[in-house]
Amino acid sequence: MILSDMTLFSSLLFSSGVDLALCSAKENLNVANCSAFFLTPAIDLPYNAQVLDVSAALAKSQVSNSNITLNLCNVTVTYTHPSWNDKIHITIYLPETGWNGRFQGVGGGGWATSSGLSSLLSPVAAGYSAGTTDGGHEINSLSTAGWAELPNGQLNMPLFTDFASVALNDLAVVGKQITNRYYGYGPNYSYWNGCSTGGRQGLMMAQKYPTAFNGIHAGAPAINWPVFLVAEYWGQFLMNQLVRYPPQCVFDAINNAAVEACRFMDDRFIAQPGQCLYDPFLMVGKSINCNGTLVNITSDDATIVQKTWEGPRTADGTPLWWGINPGTPFDGLIDTECTGSVTNCTGNAFGIATDWISRWILEEPDYDFQSLTLDGFVKIFYQALVKYNAIIGTNNIDLRPFHHAGGKMITWHGLADPLIFPGGTIDYYRKAMAFDPETHEYYRFFPAPGVGHCENGNGAVPSDPLAAVVEWVEQDIAPDVLPAVTTDGTINRNLCMYPLASFYIGGDPTDVGSFVCKFVGDYIDNIISYADFVLNSNGSTIFV
Ligand SMILES: *[C@@H]1O[C@H](CO)[C@@H](O)[C@H](O)[C@H]1NC(C)=O
Ligand SMILES: *[C@@H]1O[C@H](CO)[C@@H](O)[C@H](O)[C@H]1NC(C)=O
Ligand SMILES: *[C@@H]1O[C@H](CO)[C@@H](O)[C@H](O)[C@H]1NC(C)=O
Ligand SMILES: *[C@@H]1O[C@H](CO)[C@@H](O)[C@H](O)[C@H]1NC(C)=O
Ligand SMILES: *[C@@H]1O[C@H](CO)[C@@H](O)[C@H](O)[C@H]1NC(C)=O
Ligand SMILES: *[C@@H]1O[C@H](CO)[C@@H](O)[C@H](O)[C@H]1NC(C)=O
Ligand SMILES: *[C@@H]1O[C@H](CO)[C@@H](O)[C@H](O)[C@H]1NC(C)=O
Ligand SMILES: *[C@@H]1O[C@H](CO)[C@@H](O)[C@H](O)[C@H]1NC(C)=O
């Protein structure tokens, strides 16, 4: 439906159309409620955005890996922020039966504002009306090549701003409205659910649109976006400097040795990576079997590992950001590809990071990363901060408006996350706590030892963090721990609320009751001190 049709519908609604709609609604509630006619025209959007089209149709969908068929109303709202020239699609799925009274906004991943329509199915199966937004750009998680530049060559700041924040609030506003119209009341509660980019989006909502959601699950949040994405290139930079690209089996061997040295009992992960002082140079000269070829670990290999764990530093050793923790796979950021033999490898940089540096920071899509120097790296780091922190830093520690609105939020982060440095999340939470000692009354953080990016790894993954948020919001039961289980189902552990950690008190170590939460030292102090800047409460940056 285009704009002129909207006007037509508008006039219909204010004449006889409204009676017709209500009439048919009585005869066949579902069909009537799930029609564009019933849902248009007056969908209110913030920022004078204009609705271009609304479509609604009953649909059936199969939940993957199950025999569950969902009957739902499928609503798509297409709209634009007029002077921005964007065109955004919001999709809301509303369960025909068994609605639980709640709306759920579902987050995206990487460069994608949405994780796709299939991400709405399990919320719908759980009784939520659920919505997602494409943010006005295609689902493409590794590169923004399709939308970073406008035809005139300038950066597409409107779409970037949609991605950063604006489209997310639009989703909340539209999702709640559509839900209310379809069921005739509610939603009683609204929740945000996301990890990675979805986690960043959750924190953005709490920071910038504090009344949009009652509860937020913000997992492994991609906060500090401008700088952590630069830090993601650090390992590749080190390899370029040394012109040494080890096969992954070398990194795996060093990681395995670190886990062996620092693990608790038979765990296959490190509970306290901040206190794991394993020295990768212990592995230099060791010969390892790499797909049938013996490879000797060199001191350059150990240097790459050590500096990757440390995180990026300036020439005088000042830390810029955190690194990945010992025990974390290198094949996410410090990936190498070997052709023909394990001694013939090259670096395989993470596309989100290189896209960020070349397109968005340097505005040079064809940038030659081989020419990057340490000074250049440091300069890019600060350039990113100055240019983008206000838009997408998502590191405002003043959550008082969210608190005053009654919001509740949970973040967890895998300490073996290969893509987003847990140190950045720990740092944010520490600063939030320092700013407001009551933070835990509305925002709790649970480090997840041995867990990868939003899932996987050898550690215990939280089973249902959103359920803990819902319980907190609706029953005022604040979670002290998050129940978690390893992917293979063998170990149950409770994740402790930061800064506490799981402490063994005896018994079967696969049993949740063998541990209590206790302060046993901080998670990051031993790796790195603070990065040399602080973020003040309005999100601007003061260098110290
Ligand atoms: C909902 O509508 C969109 C847009 O037409 C479509 O792409 C999607 O497949 C529909 N979903 C279902 C479950 O039918
Ligand atoms: C789906 O149903 C078939 C037949 O009833 C059954 O064999 C299969 O195990 C079911 N699959 C799942 C994932 O429940
Ligand atoms: C939502 O709120 C309404 C009105 O307060 C109430 O009747 C209803 O039971 C609540 N819960 C659900 C699941 O709809
Ligand atoms: C359709 O909307 C009406 C009123 O707006 C409401 O009473 C009814 O329960 C809704 N139907 C469904 C299936 O939710
Ligand atoms: C070793 O073999 C596996 C399986 O074929 C492959 O995935 C991996 O990339 C190889 N490792 C190296 C370092 O070539
Ligand atoms: C690996 O190191 C051993 C002992 O230091 C040496 O004998 C061997 O030649 C080395 N192998 C390779 C492939 O460099
Ligand atoms: C080494 O890798 C390059 C690609 O990086 C490939 O073109 C070349 O053929 C490989 N050499 C051997 C000996 O396999
Ligand atoms: C943010 O805070 C800094 C320092 O307190 C102040 O100089 C600046 O004007 C503030 N910016 C805004 C937009 O409020």
Name which of 92, 100, 105 is nearest 128 in CA terms.
Answer: 100
Q: What ligand 6 atom has the least distance to the C-alpha of 294?
A: 13
Using CA of residue 421, residue 425, residue 431, residue 433, what is the dihedral sign? negative
Q: Is 543 in the pocket of ligand 8 (CB under 6 A)?
A: no
Cα–Cα dist 191/202, whole Å: 9
Cα–Cα dist 428/347, whole Å: 31
Ligand nearest, relative to CA of residue 68: 2
Pocket test residue of 64, 65, 67 for ligand 2, highest count of atoms within 8 A of CB: 67
CB atoms within 10 A of CB 300: 16
Q: Is 52 in the pocket of ligand 5 (CB under 6 A)?
A: no
Ligand nearest, relative to CA of residue 389: 8
Residue closest by Cα to atom 1 of ligand 5: 291
Q: 496, 527 in Cβ contact below 8 A?
A: no
Pocket test residue of 287, 295, 301 for ligand 6, highest count of atoms within 8 A of CB: 287
Which two structure tokens, joined as six digits, stand for 202?
């959750």
Whole-number Å distance, alpha carbon 285 to ligand 4 midpoint, is: 72
DSSP 237: H
Cα–Cα dist 511/530, whole Å: 36
Active site residue 371: no
Q: Which of 86, 170, 267, 417 is catalytic?
A: 417
pLDDT, residue 38, reads 66
Q: What ligand 5 atom has the least distance to the C-alpha of 249?
A: 13
Name which of 504, 500, 505 is nearest 523 in CA terms.
Answer: 500
Whole-number Å distance, alpha carbon 210 to ligand 8 midpoint, is: 20
CB atoms within 10 A of CB 11: 11
Q: 449: Cβ–Cβ under 8 A, 6 or more apart, which residues?
A: 269, 270, 271, 272, 273, 415, 416, 459, 460, 501, 502
Helix (H) / strand (E) element for 270: namely: none
Residue closest by Cα to atom 6 of ligand 7: 339
Give the predicted TM-score (pTM) of the model.
Answer: 0.89
Ligand nearest, relative to CA of residue 100: 3
DSSP 155: B
Side chain identity at 185, as an amino acid letter?
Y
pLDDT, residue 41, reads 55
Which residue shows structure tokens 């199969």? 62
Give 326-355 pLDDT, tens digit per residue.
999 999 999 999 999 999 999 999 999 999
pLDDT, residue 32, reads 65
Give 49-84 pLDDT, tens digit per residue.
999 999 999 999 988 888 889 999 999 999 999 999
Write out residues in the chain with pLDDT < 70, as ranges. Answer: 1-32, 36-41, 524-544
What domains appear along the chain, each with residue ranges and CATH number? 43-223+394-484 (3.40.50.1820), 228-390 (no CATH)
Cα–Cα dist 73/322, whole Å: 45
Side chain identity at 357, as an amino acid letter?
I
Residue 17's SS3 state is helix
Active site residue 299: no
Q: Is 336 in the pocket of ligand 5 (CB under 6 A)?
A: no
pLDDT, residue 141, reads 75
Which two structure tokens, joined as six digits, stand for 22?
């209500």
Ligand 4: residues with CB < 6 A are: 25, 29-30, 33, 182-184
Q: What ligand 6 atom has the least distance to the C-alpha of 287?
A: 1
Cα–Cα dist 459/461, whole Å: 6
Q: What ligand 7 atom has the least distance to the C-alpha of 340?
A: 14
Active site residue 537: no
Residue 245's SS3 state is coil
Angle at 9 between CA 6 and CA 15, to 5 degrees: 145
Report H helices in 131-196: 157-161, 167-183
Q: 305: Cβ–Cβ under 8 A, 6 or more apart, which residues?
A: 251, 254, 280, 330
In angstroms, how far is the first alpha carbon of the chain from the final one? 54
pLDDT, residue 539, reads 39
Name which of 124, 122, 105 is nearest 192 in CA terms.
Answer: 105
Q: What ligand 7 atom has the least distance to the C-alpha of 346?
A: 5
Q: Burial of 243 by CB count in 10 Å (0-12 exposed, 13-18 middle, 19+ buried)?
A: exposed
Which two structure tokens, joined as six digits, stand for 514?
């063998």
Ligand nearest, relative to CA of residue 95: 4
Region of residue 328 (left: phi > 0; alpha: psi -120 to 50; beta: else): beta
